[in-house]
Amino acid sequence: MAPLNLPFLNKSDSGLPNGVTHPTWVVLDLQGAYPARQPASPIAALLNRAETLEALEARVEKLCGAEWLHGVLVRFGGFAAAPATAHAVRGILGRLAQEKRVVAHLPQLTMTALIAASGATEIAAPESADVMLGGFAVESTFLGAFLKKHGIEFENLRIREYKAALTRFSQDHMDEANREQLGAYINGMEGAWARDLAEARGVSEDTARGWLSGDLTSAQGALDAGLITRIAYEDELVGPGTRPMAAVLDLFMPKKPSNAKAGRIAIIPLIGTIIPGKSRNNPVPLPLLGGPMAGSDTVTAALKRAKQDDKTKAIVLYVNSGGGSALASDLIWREVATSEKPVVVVMDEYAASGGYYVATHAKHIVASPYTLTGSIGVVSGKPVLKEFNARNNLNPERVGNDRALMYSASRPYSDDERALIERSIGEVYDRFVSRVAAGRKLTKERVNELGRGRIWSGVDALEHGLIDELGDLHTGIERAAELAGLPYDAPTWNATPKNHGPLPEFVQEAASLAHSAVTLEGLSLWPFGKERVLTWFDQDVKVR
């Protein structure tokens, strides 16, 4: 955490004013993306330097219980959280504001920073603050024409018109169905933003929406519009009784442990593209290859461990995934559906396609208003290098059954092969629809209306019965406690697969990483093995 650069804190005489035995204000820094919890992998956890929502909530809980504390200055610097995470931070600051005076200081008035800061009692900004309130938007680059120019085409079979996975490779522009659903999602996000800010500032939603179209360019304009409560620099918000969080940690009373004998709640993350096999991570930001991947073997093993653990009374499955392998998604779904212990699914930024599939039979589903979910659909496809090979004098030769090579990139599908794949993805889609209908107690006809690959915001998903409640991980843990008959402060633990083998888990993982680095096994150009039928939302919808 960056040191607080305030002049009075750098003086050698840092004693409190006469008669003051404890700091009256504490400075809490917020910076980074705030992942929900530490990675389950020991090596990843060791390398992770980012503060988590879990750690932030623990800090805030200590501040709430400090009787000597009057207020907290929350300093936003380099805050890079996605909207769904910012909404969770808003909830944390809101709980703090119920106990203490909370002032958020924002040098940059951005859409996501304001979501988080709206949980504070007051919002202040320096006179020179950057104001960037242009609403939300997404931008996708379509590669179809570029690939075709170089002799590469892409076959894309999908169910149905809203299923946009792989279209950035097969098309040269965004089709109208995709434009429609993304526009509706953005409108839903801006509506959620307006509700959050309207509630925080005590104005109407129409007034808050007006801030997005009011061409605000300065802190003074934001103050005049009622968006912030004060123009001030940091040194105007603190006094001699203020200390940074790190300087007061020894003043907090240890938390009285809850009755652990009553039981605990397991938290299992499902982060990234869903793939067969074990979870893995590739830090290189490449299409299909980059980022975390949630392996069905790893996630199901963690679920089984939590189900078998006598102390665990409820399970929270934390999903941030656009789906992936239809098979892997179904295997994870099975572990959720067969659990005798209540399973609560909490959706983060994404819980789409396979990421929604795994949630359908949970006892309770919680999503952020900013979550992208739904995408009940199926896709299959492959690149076709026939023209590329001809241009570059490459000549693939075949021996044996052509059907065995139907997924080869050397030629397009035949009519018979295309019909076979369409039948296959139709069967997977029917199963997907049936899972949703049974789990959410909807008719298959209604699920098909909501499906066809269409994405929904968390707010729209609630309206359509695809989820049960708007909230965050804190909400999900409370619902799990209620379902299991546990107190709200019941202990939680990060459930991971049981350790197998004679070596400690981190040694096994290090050996696996070293092996992958040598053999490149971990860098397959297709992360789903031999599978070609996907419940996947592959668009990187990064709102700006």
**How far is it, in rounded angstroms, from Cα 294 to Cα 331?**
12
The span from the CA of 299 to the CA of 294, in Å, is 7
List beta partners, residue 71. 25, 101
What gap in Å lies between CA 168 and CA 284, rounded to an integer? 20
Contacts of 244 (CB under 8 A, 6+ apart): 3, 4, 9, 26, 27, 29
Q: Which H/E stretch holds residue 469?
A: strand 469-470
Cα 238 to Cα 467: distance, rounded to the nearest angstrom: 43
User: Residue 213: helix, strand or coil by DSSP?
Assistant: helix
Q: In angstroms, rounded to a whole number, what is the distance separating the alpha carbons of residues 458 and 201?
A: 23
| SS3 (DSSP) at 314 | strand
132 - beta bridge partners? Answer: 110
DSSP per position, 133-185: -----------HHHHHHTT-EEEEEEESTT--TTHHHH-SS--HHHHHHHHHH
Tally of helices (H runs) and strands (E runs) in the chain: 18, 23
Between the alpha carbon of residue 209 and those of residues 83, 191, 206, 215, 274, the distances in Å are: 17, 8, 5, 12, 37
Burial class of residue 103, CB neighbours in 10 A (0-12, 13-18, 19+): buried
296 neighbors 328 (Cβ within 8 angstroms): yes
Catalytic choice (41, 62, 100, 163): 163
Query: What is the rounded distance in angstroms from the CA atom of residue 152 to the CA atom of residue 154?
Result: 7
Tell me the H-state helices in 326-414. 326-337, 354-357, 386-391
Per-residue burial over 366-380, b = 16 or more CB atoms within 10 Å of its CB, e = otherwise: bbbbbbbbbbbbbbb
How many angstroms separate the CA atoms of 181 and 376, rounded? 13
Nearest CA to 117 among 100, 152, 92?
Answer: 92
Spatial separation of the C-alpha atoms in residues 164 and 453, rounded to whole Å: 7
Q: Is 261 a catalytic residue?
A: no
Kindly state the tokens that stand for 292: 């975390």
Instruction: Considering the candidates 353, 375, 380, 457, report the single residue annotated as catalytic.
Output: 353
Q: Does the active-site annotation cover 307?
A: no
Label the pairing between strands 312-321 and 264-271. parallel
CB 125 within 8 A of CB 533: no
Q: Which residues are catalytic?
A: 163, 353
